[in-house]
Amino acid sequence: MSSAPELIEQFRPTYVEIDVDAFGRNVEAMQRRLGDTRLVAVVKADAYGHGAIELARRAARSNVPMIAVSLLEEALELRASGMEIPILVLGPMKEEQLRAARENDLRVGVAGPEELAAIAAIGADDFPVHLKLDSGMGRMGVTRGELPDVIRLLRRNPGIRVEAIYTHFANASDPADSFTQRQLDNFREMLDALRVAGIDAPLHHSANSAAGVRGLVSPGDYARVGIALYGAEPLDSGGFHLEPVMRWRTEIARLKTLPPGHGIGYGTTFTTKRESRIATLPVGYADGYSRALSNQADVLVCGRRAPIAGRVSMDLITIDVTDVAGAAVGDEVVLLGSQGSEAITADELASRIGTISYEVFCRVSARVPRVYRADGRISIRSKFFEHFNLSSRSQG
Ligand SMILES: *Cc1c(COP(=O)(O)O)cnc(C)c1O
**Could you give the angle at which helices 52-61 and 20-34 cross, rounded to 10 degrees?**
50
Q: Catalytic pick from 48, 94, 166, 266?
A: 266
What pLDDT, on the 0 to 100 scale, is given for residue 96?
Answer: 96
Asked if the model's pLDDT at residue 17 lies above 70, the reply is: yes
Ligand 1 residue neighbourhood (C-beta within 6 Å): 42, 44, 90, 168, 208-210, 224-227
Q: What is the mean pLDDT of residues 138-143?
A: 98
- Cβ atoms of residues 88 and 130 within 8 Å: yes
> Of 393 and 280, which is predicted with more confidence?
280
Distance 80 CA to ligand 1 centre (A): 23
Asked if the model's pLDDT at residue 396 lies above 50, the reply is: no
Q: Is 222 a catalytic residue?
A: no
Asked if the model's pLDDT at residue 4 lies above 80, the reply is: no
Mutate to test the pocket of ligand 1, among 208, 213, 214 (most ligand atoms within 8 A of CB): 208
* Residue 48 pLDDT grade (very low, low, confident, very high; cuts 50, 70, 90): very high
Closest residue (by CA) to atom 4 of ligand 1?
226
What pLDDT, on the 0 to 100 scale, is given for residue 3?
Answer: 53
Distance 169 CA to ligand 1 centre (A): 9
* Residue 391 pLDDT grade (very low, low, confident, very high; cuts 50, 70, 90): very low
Distance 156 CA to ligand 1 centre (A): 31
Mutate to test the pocket of ligand 1, among 224, 227, 242, 245 (most ligand atoms within 8 A of CB): 224
Q: Is 266 a catalytic residue?
A: yes
What pLDDT, on the 0 to 100 scale, is given for residue 384?
Answer: 87
Q: pLDDT > 90: what percent of the chain?
A: 94
Distance 350 CA to ligand 1 centre (A): 18
Q: Catalytic pick from 15, 44, 166, 230?
A: 44
Distance 394 CA to ligand 1 centre (A): 38
Which atom of ligand 1 lies nearest, measured to the CA of 225? 9
Asked if the model's pLDDT at residue 393 lies above 70, the reply is: no
Asked if the model's pLDDT at residue 99 lies above 70, the reply is: yes
Asked if the model's pLDDT at residue 114 lies above 50, the reply is: yes
Distance 174 CA to ligand 1 centre (A): 15
- Residue range 379-388, pLDDT digits in tens: 999 988 777 7
Mutate to test the pocket of ligand 1, among 50, 66, 90, 245 (most ligand atoms within 8 A of CB): 90
Q: What is the mean pLDDT of residues 358-370?
A: 97
The pLDDT mean for the chain works out to 95
Q: What is the mean pLDDT of residues 280-308?
A: 98
Cα–Cα distance, 235 to 229 (Å, whole number): 13
* Residue 2 pLDDT grade (very low, low, confident, very high; cuts 50, 70, 90): low
- Residue range 147-196, pLDDT digits in tens: 999 999 999 999 999 999 999 999 999 999 999 999 999 999 999 999 99
Half-sphere exposure of 382 (CA within 13 A, CB side): 28
Nearest to 182 by CA among 219, 136, 133, 145: 136
